[in-house]
Each structure stands twice: as C-alpha cells, then as structure tokens.
A and B are shown apart, each in its own frame.
Chain A
Amino acid sequence: MCVLPFKETDKMSELTETQIESSDDELPEEVAFDASKSAALKSVKDALEAAKREKILLKEKRKKRQQLFQEQKKRKRLPQELLEEFDKEPQKQTGPSDNKCINKKVSTKPSDINKDKTKTGNMPKRISKSLPDSYTVMRIKDESAAKSLQQKAMDFIQSRLYGPGTKRTTNAELLSLKKKRGASKGAAVEFVNKKLGASQKARIARSNKRFIRQQKLIPF
C-alpha cells in the first residue's frame, strides 16, 4: 500500500481552509473518519489501477514485438512445402543418382529439426520430390560444435599474443629501425601496396597498348 502524503495533506488543507474561512475561534469541524478513510482508500485504489494499466500496456507491447519477430522469422524460412518435404519419410526412388549424393547444407531452423526425431546423421539417403536428385539435407549444428572448440582455442592464442594489451608494432617499423641503426644509415621503410589503384593501372596499360597499335608505332 502506498501512501500519498501530498493528496492527503491537500485534503487536509482543504478541510482546514474551510475551517479558516468560517472562523478561527470555532471548534474545528468534525471531519468524519469515514471521509478521510474513503479518501485514503480511493488514492490507494487509483495507484493500484495505474500500476495495472502500466502492466497491461507493457504486455501488449511485448506481444506486438513477439509477433513482429515471428513474422520476420517466417519470412526468412524456406517455404512450408519444402520443410514438409524434408520431414517426410524417404520415398523409394531407384535412380542412377542414388549413389552419387552431393551433400548440400540447407540451413533450416534448428527448432523445427529438433521436433522431428528422424533427423540423424544418416541424412544422405533422403530423397524428395522437389529437390534435385543430387541434393541432400544435413544438420549444420553437428559440425559446428566440434569446430567451435578449435576456434575458441585459436582465438585464445591469437588474443593473448596479438590481441589488445600486447605491445605490437609493424614490420615496416622493424625494418626502419634496422636501417636507422645500421652501419649505413638509410631512410625509413614503408611498404608499397601494389593493389592500390590496380584497376586504374590496368586501364592505363590497356589504353596505352591501344594507342600504340592505332598509331602503328610498333610493327604488329
């Protein structure tokens, strides 16, 4: 229960004001206990109702957001027909491409796959109507679990040796310092990026060739 002192004092001041208006000498008016009680209860009720309203508003907001996400997810998914195809039992199709399956990784939602208990590692035998014969369905989740530990290990080493906190410099700086302190002092080293403007250089070379050919400067 929250007490709202301001409202009460307002009420009190209202009451006292009326009193003052009437007369200073008179006895204070009897404020009925009921009136003040009801006023207090009303204020409490108002507060509770306001809290409830806020909760409802939040709920609605959350619902809307959830719906929006669902719709976005739906848009990303493959059409429902394809998913149903994958869920179906394998149909007996004798074809020359049975043995030559190229594993194509189709990224379906893991939650859908989890519901379907028939998804195991023995996927390559599945053939469905709409998929071309040489395509199969495979879970990515199985493969990624193994790789993640390796990736974690590599990231750990990389971050400890080359990540933030390590005092690293560039190879250009290393060579420049060598030249500066060497027996024959030289200028600092800066590496040329050959890839800069590669397309422009190629264009210029081509136009030069064309010009030379046009002017028949070199016997062809």
Chain B
Amino acid sequence: MGIAAETQFHVLAVDDSLIDRKLIEKLLKTSSFQVTAVDSGSKALEFLGLQEEEQRNHHPQEMEVNLIITDYSMPGMTGYDLLRKIKESSSLKDIPVVIMSSENIPSRINRCLEEGAEDFFLKPVQLSDVNKLRPHLLGSRTLLEI
C-alpha cells in the first residue's frame, strides 16, 4: 500500500461499558479506522476540546476527529446530551455523530435524528454497520473507496 498521503479516519467512540468499548474499538480498527475510545460524554468533550487546542497551536491535520460514535444510555451525560452539546458548538457541530443503543425505541431514534445524528445503530453493533460509516465521514468527498 504505497499510496502517498493516505489519511486514516479518526473515530471517537464513547461508551460506558468496557465490553462495548472493546468491541466498537475492534470493529472500527478492523474497518481501518483510527480509534480513540472514552467512557463518558464529559471525557469525550474534554478530548474534543483538547483537539481544538491542538489544531490552533500545531498541525491542523493531526488528531482530527472525523466522526463520533456514542452509546445512548450512559450515566451522567447521555449520548443525546452529548449530541446536543456537539451540535451547539460552533467548532464541533460539523463532526458527524452516530448514536448506538441496545433499545429499539422509535421516539428515541427520531429524537436523535432530529437533533442532527447521522445514523442510529442498534446494539450489538456489527461490522456491516461500521462499514456504513464512510459516507458519513467529514472530509471524505474527494477520497476514493479502497
């Protein structure tokens, strides 16, 4: 694979369950994504805030987050709360967000989609779901499908 300047997409995964974090991380890595996994919405925002600073001070292309995938049911800040905070932030609102949930509740799904979520995955998430992520990715317009 000697393609020059090949960028890997960076996904931020958020889930309070250790098992599910391990799973989503493996699914994403198998799909050739770079992954950062955190266990809460507040840690996610912290990471994204840190990202902003990196971009201002150093190289803008390094460590950019291209997509956020988050569990819905988390203690403290839910996935929905996180989604809202991201969409309310001028610097983060363009990052696509995907919600995961073990419960198939149409009103919940609609609420998330209305708030700006790109997609909603039912758990357990499969490789076929993760393969659907590429079209949602920020900045993937000019890239060829491998």
Q: Are A and B physically bound partners? A: no
